[in-house]
Structure 1
Amino acid sequence: MTEARGSADLNADTHTRRTQGTPCWVSLMVHGMATTQEFYGELFGWEFQPGPHQLGPYVRALLDGQEVAGIGQLPPDRHLPIAWTPYLASDDVDQTAETVRMCGGTVGVGPLDADEAGRLAIGSDPSGAVFGIWQAAAHLGTSITGVPGTPAWNELLTFETESVAKFYGAVFGYEERPAAGPADFDYVTLHLDGHPVAGIHGVGTALPRDRGPHWMTYFEVADTDEALRHITDLGGHPLTPPHDSPHGRVATVTDPEGAMFSVIQSPR
């Protein structure tokens, strides 16, 4: 995570339709809905309301009455990786899905309608990393950011950035900006309208073999060290110890079902 948007940028226009390619929602599909809701409710203070059920039982997580994320139920016979998935805004999900296919990606789900909320598809880039596509109708996506318990950043961990960044640029129109750093530091920030919206980090052979390329969601917390203790008490597991970065204090963890995410405490 080399470049994150400030809270003012993140909060701008949260109640209007987002520019195509903007991360607008994060969703988690799990086997144990009740235990997962209990974990994130205790950790982030989320409350839950029923959501669209096109893909099975689904709830929307709310913070202070505003939507921040979604959690859905996997069918018992589906043994898919448990992972947070970012959804990228689209003006026309059917056209975006076709562009994904034309550029070497795949579309595994949809496009399909989610009640009156909007239209979605779930695809993967040429390296296999899964992401969602969301065409908003009644539901515009995450409506509060910049406070503890909300998504702060989305970052793709993959083998190398060059080819994957070209894919996302072709599909969503991102401007790519390489990050400053050592010659072997392979990081690209994706920009829309001059603002950074997501990152791609090429880590080569350091990518875990059991996970493959994947998107990582960062959630804002008030205190990273305290959050890590709380996560452990709730049945989650730390993957990296808390460490300071130019954008705050960060740690990477898993929830009780193994979904990986990061927590970040913004600099004070």
Structure 2
Amino acid sequence: MTEAVTRRTPGTPCWVSLMVHDLAATQEFYGALFGWEFRPGPTQLGPYVRALLDGKEVAGIGELPPERHLPIAWTTYLATDDADSTAETIRSCGGTVAVGPLQAGDAGRLAIGSDPGGAVFGIWQAGSHVGTMVAGAPGTPVWNELVTPETMTVGKFYEALFGYESEAVVSADFDYLTLHLQGRPVASVHGVGRALPRNRGAHWMTYFEVADADEAARRVTELGGQVLQPPREGASGRLALVADPEGAVFTVVRTGPS
């Protein structure tokens, strides 16, 4: 189901963005994979485009300065009504703020920080830009999950930050929290223990809806990316873990009829 999207409750994932070394090649990859078109966005952090589906904004991609050698990764942004206040809370609860808060023109105000486990995330105080403008259609981010060693400590951090109600899966071998706002699930925290990839550490994972997970995985390979975990059936539908040509990891998922 496709829905129009409006301003979000604080704590709701509202945007995803990616910083890469080759903006043109990255646009080509995601344009071919998801049918995205692009238009220029705010350039406070350098060259930057917004990805569009049917003219509606779904994600952002920026270009790193040549001398910056940062990990290439999709960043999940959580909505806030006050980026400065949320940044202070991040610090006081044991996280760090690496960028901002800074103004992105009239679009909004942002900061990028990390939780006590080291997972990077953004916060977004909407101005004229409220975030991803369409939900549910192929090519849109449909879920965000924090992959981390264990859920208890970091879960408390996010609960303190945004007042999430968390619902745990109680199981001897499965450490999983669903984060709710106003009774609605908005994100999840998956404790994977020693299964956490050493080269990546704790991280937020973006799930993008696709019409066919197997076909999307094939296209990723054809377009110069990698399939890290082949398509399989999961709790949310058929999904595959993939990486783009610069190594940014994401999940493609066919969630099925809603």
Q: TM-score, normalised by structure 2?
A: 0.98
| Structure 1 residue 243 corresponds to structure 2 residue 232 | yes
1:114 aligned residue? 104
Q: Distance in 1 between matches of 2:108 and 2:235?
A: 37
CA distance in 1, matches of 2:50, 2:23: 12
Matched residue count? 257
Distance in 1 (CA, whole Å) between partners of 2:29 and 2:235 is: 29
Provide the secondary structure at the position in 2 that maps to 1:240.
Answer: strand
Unaligned stretches of 5+ in structure 1? Answer: 1-6
Q: CA deviation at 1:169?
A: 0.5
Structure with greater strand percent: 2
Matched, 1:229 2:218: yes
Name the aligned partner's letter for residue 252 of structure 1: L
Q: Residue type of the partner of 1:229?
A: R
Distance 1:75 1:244 in 2: 39
Out of 127, 140, 143, the residue aligned to residue 150 of structure 1 is 140
**1:265 and 2:254 are equivalent in the alignment:** yes
User: What is the CA–CA distance in structure 2 between the aligned matches of 1:221 and 1:144, rounded to whole Å?
Assistant: 14
CA offset digits 1:89-140 (Å, max 9, x no partner): 0000000000000000000000000011000000000011000000001000
Secondary structure of the residue aligned to 2:30 is helix
Which among 34, 38, 57 is matched to residue 44 of structure 1?
34
- Aligned match of 1:132 in 122, 131, 155? 122
* Cα distance in 1 for residues equivalent to 2:54 and 2:224: 25
State the one-letter code of the partner of 1:86: T
Name the counterpart of 1:77: 67
Aligned partner letter, 2:184: H
Give the deviation of 1:246 after TM superposition.
2.8
Deviations along 1:30-68, one digit per CA (max 9) or x if unpaired, are 000000000000000000000011111100000000000
Distance in 2 (CA, whole Å) between partners of 1:197 and 1:143 is 16
Q: CA deviation at 1:179?
A: 2.2
1:53 corresponds to 2:33: no
Q: 5+ unaligned residues in a row in structure 2: which ranges?
A: none
Distance 1:267 1:115 in 2: 38
Q: Deviations over 1:173-209 (max 9, x none)?
A: 11110025x3220000000010000000000000011
Q: CA deviation at 1:267?
A: 2.4
Q: CA deviation at 1:142?
A: 0.3
CA distance in 2, matches of 1:89, 1:213: 21
Task: Report the residue type matching 1:228 in the other structure.
Answer: A
User: Where does structure 1 differ by over 2 angstroms across 4 or more consecutive aligned residues?
Assistant: none
**Counterpart of 2:15?**
25
